[in-house]
Structure 1
Amino acid sequence: MSSTDALLGDIIKPATLRRAGTEDLPILSMTMRDGLVDQADKFKKRVASADTSAYRVVDRGQLVVGFPIDEGVLSFQRLYDSAIVSPAYDIWELLDPDLVSRGYLEYFLRSPRALSYYRAKLQGSTARRRSLPRDIFLALPVPMPPLGEQKRIAAVLDQVDTLCAKRREAISLLGNLAQSVFLNMFGDPARNPLGWPVGKVGDLLISANYGSSAKADMEGDIPVLRMNNITTSGDLDMRDLKYLSSEQVSEKHLVRAGDVLFNRTNSAELVGKSAIYRLPEEVAYAGYLVRLRVSDESHPEYLAAFLNSQYAKRVLRSMSKSIVGMANINAKEVQSIKIPIPPLAEQKRFASAITQVEAAKEPHRTHLATLDELFTSLQHRAFSGVL
């Protein structure tokens, strides 16, 4: 630890525990990319349980730490004077707000340097259940330049982060366009206005397999797709990959172009995220995902768009079961969902339209990748004292 470092425990302390009780406060959800977001804005409806009395109150300026912490799931609350979050989250506050920039501290706590520290210290044997003991979290060394320098660093990172967010928003909007094309061609699956024959998702498949339970890490020769690589808009985000060795991966745990990946375990609002894999390279997929491989009589683009429709998401959430605070849907249940089945020619026509949408996304993805590299470089320099 350098002379300008401080231990995190000298910067933050646990916030006083306050339960929501009967208070009517905004409900916030934690996301990996955007931190805390208004649940009503993100999901267009309430997805928290009806009884929020046990939810924790978080005041403006307090730090909320979710899980998995080794993927930077944490954020300062900047949206409301007071709001509520899941009781599973930890809430912290600054010991002296006049000495620390919240923006600077959040960027550091989500930086590669901090994430590497968390990963090295996690305890437990089950990947998504591993935790970081409080005393170890508070022992994290934090570089602490003067407050003015902290604010300057945060402002620089803000500029690039804003550009990244705009690119991601453009990609998401094009994803919404894909759903509009789906509804225009096939109608709302809930009503099936064009009278397509109705079957089950399983009728379209040749297999539905769970992913590998092997623990992925930062070393290995085969990339592994995990639940956080599937976005809420139905895209695959190929950043923040982990890896397995070829000896740990069998054929049933590999994804090839045209496979649809389904997120079977997540928070209640995110369970059921789905995306189609379109790249030529084979990659592995983790155990919280299900690989849906479509038969020659159906098209994977149609299945992926169906699973990302509002109708399918409502069905998925209604059939999910809560296990240890996480919503779960198994492969058998996914295959039981009713689905209109248009002729293969119509499905292929839809796939052709999606190809054009994907082509429109590509320049945004390329620019986003460049911005991400710049952001990572700036983080490294900022927290090494050379920005």
Structure 2
Amino acid sequence: MSRALQLSDVCEITMGQAPDGESYNDQGDGLPLIAGAGDFGDLHPKVKKFTTEASKVCESGDIVLGIRATIGEKVIADGRYCLGRGVAGLRAGPDLNARYLWHWLAHVNPLLVSKARGATFLQVNRGDIGELPISLPPLPEQCRIAAILDKADALRNKRREALAQLDRLAQSIFVEMFGDPVTNPKGWTVVKFGEVGNLDRGVSKHRPRNDPALLGGKHPLIQTGDVANSGGYIRTYASTYSDIGLRQSKLWSRGTLCITIAANIAKTGILTFDACFPDSVVGFTANDEATVEYVRVWLSFLQKTLEENAPESAQKNINLAILRGLDIPLPPIELREKFGQALRSQMKLAGSSEKSAKELDEMFASLQHRAFRGEL
């Protein structure tokens, strides 16, 4: 028999707090710092900085949850970390299985996001998290459900890795045709990125950004997470704008390259449909498809460096001036078009793999829905 509880009844919640900036270092002194979702890896934290003045910490096995801008993203702590203001630590109590909690958080995330508030960045607080309703079956049943979802999730991860291999193939084709984009051994003409096409931020004028009047219509709304998880081409979306939402935003055309500039830095994806996005995403357009494809793969070589060097206050971010000022080697258009043709052949393979991945995602979503309704 399941019990109807609130998350705070069965889970310890530790809200992060930003340490004194003077305590930050990159020499490994003190505890590694998780400032926000920008310090998340695929499964565990992937931090760049340390702090000698950690006030809020998590331990190995705790779930670290993004609570600011990219709300609901999560990783599992593989050691002791300092929690910055963009995250919270969740520790399952004796009546709650940690893997059950992990999967349940994905299931309940739309509800958590709906509670978010903020003018510049949406965020949730301890009350928003702690008040989430959770239906808790006995521990053996939690373990059984978690094991089923773990197996289904493993299948999805294998498909994602296959897609990642295709993306690495794009980089290999790039290097073979153009050489290393950083050292430019073939001596291509170097120009500023801002001269190659148009770069502009997305638009979301209304506050609060999650005003229900803005949402739930027919106009696709792309967020930073959609770009970061797109595999290079944005084919799906989870949110939409109403006609009111569209009027305070901007509709970008299919073929626009989306570039994230907050939390997830310099992640990219090309729109396969017309869509809106907020000012945490920059849109790049050019006169030809080949240049957009070239720029997408070129940026993939720079992504880690841009992220590591991004200014950080509440969370990592870069601006249009940084992007426009980047040096980009620019081969002749004929070569860029040949590169685009090679990528389109690759896209056919990716399309088949992504269809399979989408089917697995739909299966997993169905399993989750049934699991947390007590029907699995």
TM category, shorter: 0.7 to 0.9
Match of 2:104 among 101, 108, 132: 108
Matches within 5 A, 1:149-228: 149-205=141-197, 207-213=198-204, 214=206, 215=209, 219-228=216-225
Give the letter aligned to residue 258 of structure 1. Answer: G
**Cα RMSD for the two superposed structures:** 3.3
Matches within 5 A, 1:10-29: 10-14=9-13
| CA deviation map 1:17-42 (0-9, x unaligned) | 99999866667685799764242xxx
Instruction: Tell me, yes or no, if structure 1 residue 129 matches structure 2 residue 122.
Output: yes
Whole-Å Cα distance in 2 between the matches of residues 349 and 247 of structure 1? 42
**8 A contact 1:263–1:271 mirrored in 2:** yes
| CA deviation map 1:265-301 (0-9, x unaligned) | 22xxx31212222x2x312222211111113496211
Q: Tell me how far 1:314 sits from its aligned partner.
A: 2.3
| CA deviation map 1:100-159 (0-9, x unaligned) | 211112211220xx2233234333344x3332x323422222111111111111111111
Instruction: Tell me, yes or no, if structure 1 residue 48 matches structure 2 residue 48.
Output: yes
Q: Tell me how far 1:248 sits from its aligned partner.
A: 3.6
Instruction: Tell me, yes or no, if structure 1 residue 62 matches structure 2 residue 59.
Output: no
* Local SS of the residue matching 1:249: helix
**8 A contact 1:274–1:304 mirrored in 2:** yes
- Residue 360 to residue 123, structure 1, CA distance change in 2 (3 Å): same
* Local SS of the residue matching 1:287: coil
Whole-Å Cα distance in 2 between the matches of residues 313 and 260 of structure 1? 18
Match of residue 311 from structure 2: 321
* Local SS of the residue matching 1:349: helix
Matches within 5 A, 1:1-387: 4-14=3-13, 30=37, 36-39=43-46, 48-49=48-49, 51=51, 53-54=53-54, 56-68=56-68, 71-77=71-77, 79-80=78-79, 82-86=80-84, 88-96=86-94, 99-111=95-107, 114-126=108-120, 128-131=121-124, 133-205=125-197, 207-213=198-204, 214=206, 215=209, 219-231=216-228, 235-249=232-246, 253-266=250-263, 270-277=264-271, 279=272, 281-296=273-288, 299-310=291-302, 313-314=304-305, 317-318=308-309, 320-322=310-312, 324-387=313-376
Give the letter aligned to residue 112 of structure 2. Answer: Y
Deviates more, 1:339-348 or 1:212-221: 212-221
Name the TM-score, length of structure 2 as normaliser: 0.84
* Local SS of the residue matching 2:216: coil
Give the letter aligned to residue 58 of structure 1. Answer: C
Whole-Å Cα distance in 2 between the matches of residues 383 and 222 of structure 1? 30
* Local SS of the residue matching 1:329: coil
* Structure 2 residues not aligned, in runs of 5+: none
How many residue pairs are counted as aligned between the two chains? Answer: 362
- Residue 155 to residue 48, structure 1, CA distance change in 2 (3 Å): same
* Local SS of the residue matching 2:228: coil
| CA deviation map 1:229-283 (0-9, x unaligned) | 12278524544521112344369822223321111222xxx31212222x2x312
* Structure 1 residues not aligned, in runs of 5+: 40-46
- Residue 238 to residue 27, structure 1, CA distance change in 2 (3 Å): farther
- Residue 344 to residue 51, structure 1, CA distance change in 2 (3 Å): same
Whole-Å Cα distance in 1 between the matches of residues 119 and 179 of structure 2? 46
Name the TM-score, length of structure 1 as normaliser: 0.82
Give the letter aligned to residue 200 of structure 2. Answer: N
- Residue 70 to residue 201, structure 1, CA distance change in 2 (3 Å): closer
